[in-house]
Amino acid sequence: MKKIKHPFVLGIIVFLIVLSSFNKAYSDEKKWTDKNEINSLSDESQNEIERFINKQIKNGKIPGMAVTIVQGDQTIYQKGFGYANIKNKKLVTSTTLFELSSNSKAFTALGILNLEKQGLIKLDEPVNNYIPWFKMNYKGKFAPITVEQLLYHTSGIPFNTIDKIPESNDDNSLEKTVRTLINKELKSKPGVNFHYATINYDVLGLLIETITGLSYETYMEEYIINPLGLNNTYLNKNETISKNMAEGYKLNFLQSQPFHAAVYRGNKPAGYLISNAVDMGKWLKIQLGTIPTGEFSNELIKKSHISNNGLVQDSSKPAYASGWYTLEKADTVIYHPGNNPNYSSFIILNPEQKLGIAVLSNINSAYVSATCDGIYGILSGKDYNHSVFDENQIADIISIILIVLSGFILIITLIRIVKVIRQIVRSERIHVVKSKKYRLTVTFSLLFIIVIQYIIHQIPFICTGVSWRFVSVWLPNSVTVAHYFMVIVIWVAYLLFILKNVYRLNKV
């Protein structure tokens, strides 16, 4: 055999062999990472939608996202974008699992409607007929809340009750959660106004447990999830599920960083079901009525879309059904957003067009709902140029500004404290004899600082009725850091004030 004399030629051959192997490995990896990817859109629609999705991911600093689009009884688009785990470079695929957040409510609503169908519950009856100790007040007096009012968020339970949901993974977590409502004051009389409060659906979850004698998870699996054939939708985590679960993230200092939220099992009926793009495609078709629902009654699906229009004065505003918002314009649109501390989702259904879209993500971001809305606009032939108001991004930016300003003030203040101490050591400042004026100055200045400190501590409650505990869980960590910086600056500035008043400059 003739030897290859030129090293350059040999190098080219080796390079081509390696490149060929790399391409094959990459192709195999891609096939393995998203073998369930589906696309029957036109090239034009696909390109426009994917350009839009990638733009939203970039602007929203979204780690990963899964998108499913169905038309009639067909899934016409199903794909993952970005990372399920940034550190490990694990890509999002159609089988990557996400928390459904508030899109869990539609499942719980079906559980309640199924109990009604079986004659085990009546929607117009007070909850305390089933849970005797469940009692809340309106204007200081007991106000009975019906099952239907919980479904429609017309119970009068205020939004800020989310702040009291306990961290727990115990079997009695639902009862623990619902007991936080006992004898609390309602925001309005039951049945009069719409007030979205996630805990409404936790009460419904406890109703399911009380009436059936089964855990919420067991009932939902046996009577809702399994009959509907949702084989990739879960209520409990195990090793296999955790392996396929997308890592949850939270925005922090302009970057998406991993965030391991506490376990709120008592909030599961309202926001902690787990699923993926594959099952969301099936779920969309079930909601549109384009595929058989097996043993499960399709009439219950339709009933869950019937909204409480009696409270809607303006037809341009959405009404609420059983786990769904409904908006009647040119077409009836059924939708629901979902937000957890480190996941979010959005679903849009158009029954007339038989069109359904679901977007799942591993970060809490307004860009997720905007992405779903934008895809719907593209497929409906409508322009979508809406600006996105993302509270987390805004809170993060404001917090960074406050941290920088506070840091600057802190440095200047510390420099001045060092200067005063040096002056004291050099006897350039002398100790002031304690007088009545001195004592008043110290007392009132301390009271002033305490009042300022209290006001800062109450800012979340003043704005939204929640505590810093809620802020630390739901908002970027930079908000908490900014809070601490402000507190430190105030007390360091007070220390400077005291030093300068206790030790006055020696004018001699």
**How far, in Å, are 99, 122, 161, 252, 260 from residue 193 at the CA level?**
29, 21, 17, 36, 35
Asked if pLDDT for residue 185 goes beyond 60, the answer is yes
For the cut 60, the answer to whether the pLDDT of residue 6 exceeds it is no
Whether the predicted pLDDT of 17 surpasses 70: no
CA-based angle 316:162:59, to the nearest 5? Answer: 60
pLDDT for residue 311: 66
| pLDDT tens, position by position, 420-451 | 999 999 988 888 777 777 788 888 888 988 89
How many whole angstroms from its chain centre is CA 227?
28
Of 20-24, 52-56, 246-250, minimum mean pLDDT range: 20-24
Question: For residue 355, what are the β-bridge partners?
Answer: 71, 350
Which tens digits make up the pLDDT trace of 446-485? 898 889 888 888 888 888 889 989 999 999 999 999 999 9
3 CB neighbour count, 10 Å cutoff? 5
Question: Over the Cα atoms of the chain, what is R_g?
Answer: 29
Q: How many helices (H) and strands (E) does the chain have?
A: 16, 17
- Concatenating the DSSP letter of every residue in 265-297 gives GGGHHHH--EE-HHHHHHHHHHHHT-S--TTS-
- Average pLDDT rounded to a whole number, residues 208-223: 97
The whole-number pLDDT of residue 28 equals: 37
Residue 418 and residue 422: Cα distance in Å, rounded?
A: 6
Average of pLDDT values for 116-128?
96
Least confident segment among 14-23, 259-268, 302-311: 14-23
The half-sphere exposure of 434 on its side-chain side, counting CA atoms within 13 A, is 3
- Specify the pTM: 0.88
The Cα angle at residue 108 between residues 107 and 113, in degrees rounded to 5: 95
pLDDT for 126 equals: 97
pLDDT at 315: 64
CA dist., res. 158 & res. 193, Å (int)? 11
**Encoded tokens for 87:** 């550190």
Report residue 251's pLDDT band, with 50, 70 and 90 as the boundaries.
Answer: very high
Concatenated DSSP letters of 301-369: HHHHT---GGG---TTS-EE-SS-EEEESSSEEEEEEEEETTEEEEEEEETTTTEEEEEEESB--HHHH
Residue 224 pLDDT greater than 50, yes or no: yes
User: Band of the pLDDT at 502, cuts 50, 70, 90?
Assistant: confident
* Span 117-144, average pLDDT: 96
pLDDT at 7 over 80: no
| CA dist 79 → 55, 93, 134 (Å) | 16, 6, 44
- Cross-strand partners of 505: 429
The per-residue pLDDT for range 296-320, each reduced to its tens digit, is 999 999 999 999 866 655 667 899 9
Give first-to-last CA distance, the chain, whole Å: 104
- In eight-state DSSP terms, residue 245 is B
Closest CA to 63 of 252, 238, 271: 252
161: phi then psi, degrees, rounded to nearest 5: -65, -15
For 289, the token pair is 């009525």
Task: Provide DSSP, 116-161.
Answer: HHTTS--TTSBGGGTSTT---EETTEE---BHHHHHTT-S---GGG
Is the pLDDT reported for residue 229 higher than 80? Answer: yes
The answer to whether the CB of 391 falls within 8 A of the CB of 464 is no
The pLDDT score that the predictor gives to residue 444 is: 87
b/e 281-293 (16+ beta carbons within 10 angstroms → b): bbbbbbbbebbeb
Band (42; pLDDT cuts 50, 70, 90) = very high
Residue 256: name the closest of 462, 62, 18 by CA: 62
Instruction: Summarize pLDDT for 377-431 with one digit per residue, the tens.
Output: 999 887 666 789 999 999 999 999 999 999 999 999 999 999 999 999 998 888 8
Q: Which amino acid is at 270?
A: A
Q: Higher pLDDT residue, 42 or 310? A: 42
For the chain, the residue count is: 508
What share of the chain in percent tops pLDDT 70?
91
Residue 232, SS3 per DSSP:
coil
Residue 19: the pLDDT is: 40
Tell me which residue of 378, 387, 283, 371 sits closest to 65, measured CA to CA. Answer: 371
Least confident of 38-52, 149-163, 321-335, 354-368: 321-335
Specify the amino acid at residue 302.
Answer: K
Residue % of the chain over a pLDDT of 90: 76
Could you read off the pLDDT of 24-39 as tens digits, one per residue?
433 333 444 578 899 9
- Mean pLDDT of the 348-374 span: 97
SS3 per-residue string spanning 41-74: CCHHHHHHHHHHHHHHHHHHCCCEEEEEEEECCE
For the stretch 200-210, pLDDT in tens is: 999 999 999 99
Other CB atoms within 10 Å distance of the CB of residue 487: 15
| Model pLDDT, residue 445 | 86
CA angle 333, 220, 128 (to 5 degrees): 90
